Structure 1
Amino acid sequence: MRLAATDLAIGYGRERIGADLSLALGPDEIVCLLGPNGCGKTTLFKTLLGLLPRLDGALALDDTDIARMSRQDIARAIAYVPQAHAPPFPFEVLEVVLMGRTARIGTFAQPSARDRTIATEALAALGIADLAGRDYARLSGGQRQLVLIARALAQEAPLIVMDEPTASLDFGNRLSVLDRIASLARAGSGRGVILSTHDPDQALALQARVLAMSAGRMIAEGPAADVLTPARLSEIYGVPLTVERTASGRRVCLPAVQSSAATMT
């Protein structure tokens, strides 16, 4: 399964948020949509998911225009992991993951034994099988995010869209979730993942293909190591930045000029 957008224009009604947006996502790859807050990342994702109509351009799954597809067919092809999720009712974790089976069994159908097995295996794949009977609302932020990823896995969609999946997490949970994301699109998985972030270090850590977005437009595309140069990062975020290599060999993004706050410590 391959998702492709060409010269896409996005927005709400007559209000254009972005234009001339082109991207592709296929199996066995991680694509990182990088850009500052307000650049149009979430609006773009809502359009890719068919939740918002495109204002111009082409958007297709394989050779099928997404506008011609039913919500169920789109859900069978693309799973969605939001930034955060607050359930309206108290659900157990396994029940939340089973919601990912809706596209496969119908809105009002009861999950079968096979559906429960798939949901349980999704939890196990993320190392959280022990949470199955827990109250989802009482989990930590990192645990809830892993449950949402498990729900996406249970959906058995070949493509996964993640909207800033670590935005509200502490440092430890952020690392845990990134590690799980890296494993989702491993070679031979047949799965493609596109996630948005405003943190260039995440794109570097994932060694992802990067789509750099600014003010509603794509300004660069390519491997993270090639795209995330000091000049381009400074252009995206409007402050002088540099990329340095740590003793372990990792590349990280840092302020090019030491802040006055840092000099006071």
Structure 2
Amino acid sequence: MKLEATELAIGYGRERIGENLSFTLGPDEIVCLLGPNGCGKTTLFKTLLGLITRLGGKLELGGADISRLARQDIARAIAYVPQAHVPPFPFEVLEVVLMGRTSQLGAFAQPSARDRDAALAALDTIGIEHLAGRDYARLSGGQRQLVLIARALAQEAPLLVMDEPTASLDFGNRLAVLDRIATLARRGSGRGVILSTHDPDQALSLSARVIAMSKGRVLADGPAADVLTPARLSEIYGISLTVERTPSGRRICLPELQSSAATIT
């Protein structure tokens, strides 16, 4: 399954947030959508999910115009992982994950034994099957985020859209979530993942393909090591940045500090 945007224009009503956006998302790849606040990342995701209508260009899912597809057909092809949240009603973790099976059910149908097995398998894949009977609202932020990823997996959609999946998480939980994401689109999985992030280091650690956005347009699209240059990062974020290699071989992004600010007492 492939998602393909060609000269896509996005926005609300007559207000264009972005235009001339062209890219693809296919199986066995992780794509990081990188850019500052207000560059159009969230609006783009809403458009990809069919929640808002594109203002121009083409958007095709499996070769079909996404605007011609039923909501259930889109949900069977694209699963969405929002930022972690606390639901208004108490649910057990397994119940939350079972909600991912909605697109596979007919009107008024109840989850079957197969749906339950799919939900349990998703929890096992993410490594949190031991949380199945826990109160979702009482979990840590990192655990809730892993549950939301399991819910998306239970949906059995070939494409996953993740909106800043590590936002507001502490360092340990952030690493745990990134580790699970890295396994989702491994070669041969048939699954494609696109996630938004403010952290270029995450794209580098995932060895992801990067779509760099600024002011509603795509600045570059390619491997993280090629796209995330000091010049381009400085253009995106408006500050001087450098990309350095650690003794272990990892590449990390660092701000270029002024000599007066770099003095530590």
Normalising by the smaller structure, the TM-score range is over 0.9
Cα shift readout 1:25-83 (whole Å, capped 9, x = no counterpart):
00000011110111110100000000010000000112110000011000000000012
Separation of aligned partners in 2, 1:107 and 1:212: 40
- In 2 relative to 1, CA 169–261 (structure 1 residues): closer, same or farther, beyond 3 Å? farther
Task: Spell out the pairing of 1:115-154 with structure 2 (5 A cutoff).
Answer: 115-154=115-154
Separation of aligned partners in 1, 2:203 and 2:250: 12
Separation of aligned partners in 2, 1:129 and 1:203: 28
Aligned to 1:234: 234
Instruction: Give the counterpart letter for 1:216 in structure 2.
Output: G
Aligned to 1:173: 173
Task: Spell out the pairing of 1:97-108 with structure 2 (5 A cutoff).
Answer: 97-106=97-106, 108=108
Separation of aligned partners in 2, 1:259 and 1:134: 51
Separation of aligned partners in 1, 2:173 and 2:106: 33
Task: Spell out the pairing of 1:1-265 with structure 2 (5 A cutoff).
Answer: 1-106=1-106, 108-258=108-258, 262-265=262-265
Separation of aligned partners in 1, 2:126 and 2:262: 38
- In 2 relative to 1, CA 34–59 (structure 1 residues): closer, same or farther, beyond 3 Å? same
Q: SS of 2:98's equivalent?
A: helix
- Structure 1 segments of 4 or more deviating over 6 A? none
Q: When the two structures are superposed, what TM-score results if normalisation uses the length of structure 1?
A: 0.98
Instruction: Return 81-90 or 160-169, whichever deviates more.
Output: 81-90
Separation of aligned partners in 2, 1:215 and 1:75: 29
Separation of aligned partners in 1, 2:13 and 2:51: 13
Q: SS of 1:263's equivalent?
A: coil
Instruction: Give the counterpart letter for 2:60 in structure 1.
Output: A
Structure 2 residue runs without a partner (length 5+): none
- In 2 relative to 1, CA 225–112 (structure 1 residues): closer, same or farther, beyond 3 Å? same
CA RMSD of aligned residues (A): 1.1
Cα shift readout 1:150-200 (whole Å, capped 9, x = no counterpart):
000000000000011001111110000000000000000000000011110
Instruction: Give the counterpart letter for 1:241 in structure 2.
Output: L
Aligned residues: 265
